[in-house]
Structure 1
Amino acid sequence: MSAPFDALIRDNAADWLAYTEHRFVRELAEGTLPEAAFRHYLQQDYLFLIQFARAWGLAVYKSRDLAEIRQGLESLKAIVEVELGLHVGYCASWGVDEAALDGLSESRATLAYTRYVLDAGMSGDLVDLHVALAPCIIGYGEIARWILQQPFTRRDGNPYADWIAMYAGDEYQALVASERQWLDARLSTLDASRMARLSVVFRDATRLEADFWQMGLDLA
């Protein structure tokens, strides 16, 4: 019997595949992705992280016990105190300084996905919020592992090797495993009608994540 979260992927297999094996991802693996596309993605991802922090703040509010409050708070602190700083440094290595990041406007793709996540959390409960975040949290880990398994992946001299290594690394994969465990524990207690509603949330969030990849190609 498959894990409950795997059932969400199975029920939305076409959309999940379109996201995790998107042309942006394939070209990143090959090292052929136009640098302008990646640079644009990095800039919008900075803005995404800010909204991601808000989502974890919402997770704290939506929590029902101290353990959930601590989980949301630790995730919020990790983004604000660590990840944003690392992202700024990584952007600088691609010629985008912090002043440029501060002057950015959110693209339509960034607005659509981040506000969808926040709305899912506001209108639903903590499980809705985690399911809406899953394509990002779990998806990036799945994508990185998939990249490493492909025969066309360029391992030497790939300008995107650091990005791949970050999400394929033990630290991020442990985060993915932890999130899967959290979701499986809660999804396993839900009835079919509730799972069907969450499947729609997962489907829509996955489609919006695919649009985030496409944004990089369209605006390169």
Structure 2
Amino acid sequence: MKFTDYIFEQVKEFWNSYLEHPFVKEIGEGTLDREKFKNYLIQDYLYLKEYSKVFCIGLVKSKTMEEMKFYYNSIRGTMEDEAAVHIKYLEGFGLTAKETEKCEYDLTTTSYTSYMQGVALTGDLKEIALVTMPCTWSYSYIGKYIKKTYGYNLEENFFKPWIEEYASDGFTKFTNDWIDYINDLCKDINEEEKKKLLAIFMKSCMYELNFWDNAYN
């Protein structure tokens, strides 16, 4: 069994709770309060800024040019492609990217990104990969689920660009590239390291749920 198959089996039930979260369901239905979505976008934009720094640490710790390019592409994909959807929505709410950067970080945003950066600074490339992966992988999981479940209403849905970003072929490829990278990186790990990496992954998964809770409440 590949390492990511093992990981997915451990988190599948937990991730399915994301799909039932009112924030996610109401995005799919197109009924989410737009002020909640605006506040979510602000925090997620600030999150992406700090999240990108974790990839930067990965780039510094990379051992080959190929690995450096992989992290570089992840930095670029997060800061340019993913952030672009946020910026367009925020501009619709009357906020520029520079104004958004001046907003205050919520406690959940600070706690989650500090955890990831701490793991990245003290850990190795396997730990960096596992601490960041829940964000990418679970958003792909959620995006595809929403599009499949609520696709009948997509054209009239205010949240269509957000949904399409995370359900897109490009984001799926980005996710699959990370899955392949992790499987290659972790192919020879022992049971002790396997449990350690799973614990890191699970903690980020719990932070993801906290982020949804914070966005909705």
Q: CA offset at residue 189 of structure 1?
A: 1.7
Shift of 1:53: 1.8
Distance 1:133 1:183 in 2: 11
Using a 3 Å threshold, how does the CA distance of structure 1 residues 95 and 11 change in structure 2: closer, same or farther? Answer: same
Q: In the alignment, is residue 30 of structure 1 matched against residue 20 of structure 2?
A: no
Say which structure, 1 or 2, has more relative contact order (CA 8 Å, 6+ apart): 1
> Could you report, residue by residue, the CA deviation over 1:79-123 in whole angstroms, capped at 9, with x for unpaired residues?
445554553233102333335313201111111111111111122
Shift in Å at residue 200 of structure 1? 0.5
Q: Which runs of 5+ in 1 are unaligned?
A: none
Q: Please tell me whether residue 211 in structure 1 is matched to residue 210 in structure 2.
A: yes
Per the alignment, residue 195 of structure 1 pairs with 194
- Find the aligned partners of 1:134 and 1:153 in 2 and give their Cα distance: 30
Report the TM-score, using the length of structure 2 for normalisation.
Answer: 0.91
Is the CA contact 2:48–2:78 (under 8 Å) kept in the aligned structure 1? yes
Instruction: Check the 8 A contact 1:31/1:160 in 2, yes or no.
Output: yes
Percent identical: 24
Q: Deviation digits for residues 12-37 of structure 1, max 9, x if unmatched?
A: 33432233542211111111111111
Query: 2:181 matched to 1:145?
Result: no
**1:5/1:187 contact within 8 Å kept:** no
Q: CA RMSD in A?
A: 2.0
1:126 aligns with 2:125: yes
Assess if the C-alpha contact under 8 Å between 1:141 and 1:172 holds in 2: yes
Give the Cα–Cα distance (whole angstroms) in 1 for the partners of residues 8 and 203 of structure 2: 12
Distance 2:186 2:112 in 1: 23
CA distance in 1, matches of 2:156, 2:77: 30
1:107 aligned residue: 106
2:11 is the alignment partner of 1:12: yes
- Note the C-alpha offset of 1:153: 6.4
More helix by share: 2
Structure 1 residue identity aligned to 2:100? L
Structure 1 stretch displaced more, 178-187 or 13-22: 13-22
Instruction: Give the counterpart letter for 1:184 in structure 2.
Output: N
- For residues 84 and 145 of structure 1, the distance between their equivalents in structure 2, rounded to whole angstroms, comes to 19
For residues 199 and 40 of structure 1, what CA distance do their matches in structure 2 show?
Answer: 31
Deviation string 1:180-199 (CA, Å, 9 cap, x unpaired) is 11112222221111110111
Cα drift, residue 168 of structure 1: 0.8
TM-score in terms of structure 1 length: 0.90
Q: Deviations over 1:52-92 (max 9, x none)?
A: 22111100122122211121123223444555455323310
* 1-structure distance, mates of 2:137, 2:48: 15
